[in-house]
Structures are given as structure tokens and as C-alpha cells.
Amino acid sequence: MTLFDNAVTYVHALLRAHVAEGDVVVDATLGNGLDAAALAESIGPSGTLYGFDIQQVALDVTRSRLKNTPCTAILHLGGHEEMSAIVPKEHHGSVRCVTFNLGYLPGGDKTVTTVATTTQRALAAALDMLAPDGLITIVCYGHEEGERERLAIESVLSALDQARWTCVRSTFLNQKGTPPTAYVITSRSE
Ligand SMILES: C[S@@+](CC[C@H](N)C(=O)[O-])C[C@H]1O[C@@H](n2cnc3c(N)ncnc32)[C@H](O)[C@@H]1O
């Protein structure tokens, strides 16, 4: 397995490189809990993870996966567009990392998927609560709603001030079909 095998291994390598023990982090789409577990490993027992998903099964699977990687995990059954209200104000401006892995729950109901309007609102909330030197990662897939999400994400990212934000888009040029796109956003300290 190499760093660039797929969008998820790529993003996990970045999360591991960036997130440190004791950090406050957000998994905006818990799903099967693999991203949450990668974050939990990095923040350790002194870190705090806020997690979101609209399906109870995702919270249950994630909670059981996190048993092996203890941290303070506050998992919210509800949309990531509620992020500003759920992550306490005291953490706004000090969240070290927010990760989005969009689309539907692998192995679950493919009709329950993230959608462009709420993804865009959640991204705006994530940008607002990020720490200086914070990191946002987004993996966006090539299905029909994913394409709408891609456009919504890029309209937000392309308007960000380059003095404060770095926004990178990575694509998998030789993958067949409609490969995912990974976005990496970092904020600079003033
Ligand atoms: C591709 S999966 C996430 C994969 C996951 N991070 C992992 O490590 O397995 C996308 C998840 O987004 C969830 N979802 C859909 N709409 C959402 C929303 N508005 N807010 C948060 N999660 C949402 C789905 O229920 C699904 O579990």
C-alpha cells in the first residue's frame, strides 16, 4: 500500500502527518468509522473528536471501531451542516482538522448520500472554525450528486483569499470510470 493508492490512503497520510496528540478534530461524515479511527489514533486519549452522520448505523459502527483507540468522541446523529451549533464555541478557531468523505455509506443505502447544498454549508462552517495552520480534507466521488458537490466545493474554495488559504485539488488521471477528487485546504497563521 502506498500513499497514493487511492484517495483515502492519500488523505489518511495527510491527516497522520498533520494532526497531533491532544488536538480537537471533526469527522464530518462518519460512515464506517475508518477516517474517525485514523483521526483518533493521531489525537490520542487527550484529544477530542466530534463526528457527524445522519444514519444511526454509522454512529454505532464508528463507536465500536473507536473502542481500540480511546479519545473523547462526541458523535452527533445529524447533518454536518449543524457543525457550528454542535461543536462548542470554545473550540471555534482551534479545530485542527475537519475531514469530509462524501457520498453514501459503503455497503449501505446508496440513496442516502451527502448533497451539494448542505455540503457547501458544512464546508463554510468548517472554514470558520479551523485553527491557524489547520487542515480540511474532502474526498468527493464522481456520481451525479457528487458532481454537483464538486462544483459547490470549488465555488467556495476558488473564492478564498490566497494570503490566508491554500487549496489543492488532486485527481486520479489514469483511473477508469469517474475517479474521486481529493481537496486539501490549509489555513495559514497570520
Ligand atoms: C462515504 S461515507 C463516509 C465514509 C467514512 N468517513 C468512513 O471512514 O468509512 C459518507 C457518509 O456520509 C453520511 N452523510 C450523508 N449526508 C450527511 C450529512 N448531511 N451530514 C453528515 N453525514 C452525512 C452518509 O450517511 C454516509 O455514512
Relative orientation angle of helices 34-43 and 56-65, to the nearest 10 degrees: 40
pLDDT at 87: 98
Residue 88 pLDDT exceeds 80:
yes
Residue 1 pLDDT exceeds 90:
no
pLDDT at 145: 94
Residue 165, beta-bridge partner list: 187
Q: Which helix (H) or strand (E) holds 96?
A: strand 95-101
In CATH terms, 7-187 corresponds, of 3.40.50.150, 1.10.10.10, 3.40.190.10, 3.10.400.10, to: 3.40.50.150
Residue 190 pLDDT exceeds 70:
no
Tell me the per-residue pLDDT of 149-169, one tens digit each, with 9 for 90 and over.
Answer: 999 999 999 999 999 999 999
Residue 10 pLDDT exceeds 70:
yes
Residue 62 pLDDT exceeds 90:
yes
Residue 23 pLDDT exceeds 70:
yes
- Starting at the edge strand that comes first in sequence, how are the strands of the sheet with 72-77 ordered? 72-77, 48-53, 24-27, 95-101, 130-140, 181-187, 165-171
Please work out whether the CB of residue 57 comes within 6 Å of at least one atom of ligand 1. no
In the reported structure, the alpha carbon of residue 163 is separated from the centroid of ligand 1 by a whole-number distance in angstroms of 31
What is the rounded average pLDDT of the residues 130-144? 96
Confidence of residue 4 (pLDDT cuts 50, 70, 90): confident
CB 153 within 8 A of CB 123: yes
Q: What percent of the chain is modeled with pLDDT above 90?
A: 93
Confidence of residue 80 (pLDDT cuts 50, 70, 90): very high
Quote the Cα angle for 38-39-43, to 5°. Answer: 125
Please work out whether the CB of residue 103 comes within 6 Å of at least one atom of ligand 1. yes
Report the nearest atom of ligand 1 relative to the CA of 36: 8
Which residue has the least CA distance to atom 3 on ligand 1?
Answer: 31
pLDDT at 5: 87
Distance CA 97, CA 48 (A): 11
Would you say the pTM of this structure is higher than 0.95? yes
Distance CA 14, CA 31 (A): 19
Confidence of residue 2 (pLDDT cuts 50, 70, 90): confident
Distance CA 96, CA 102 (A): 20
Q: Which of 29, 39, 86 is the best mutation target for the ligand 1 pocket, counting ligand atoms within 8 Å of the beta carbon and taking the most?
A: 29
Which residue has the least CA distance to atom 27 on ligand 1?
Answer: 31
pLDDT at 84: 98
In the reported structure, the alpha carbon of residue 33 is separated from the centroid of ligand 1 by a whole-number distance in angstroms of 9
Please work out whether the CB of residue 23 comes within 6 Å of at least one atom of ligand 1. no
Please work out whether the CB of residue 54 comes within 6 Å of at least one atom of ligand 1. yes
From the list 86, 90, 80, 82, the residue with the least C-alpha distance to 115 is 80
- What is the average pLDDT score of the chain? 96
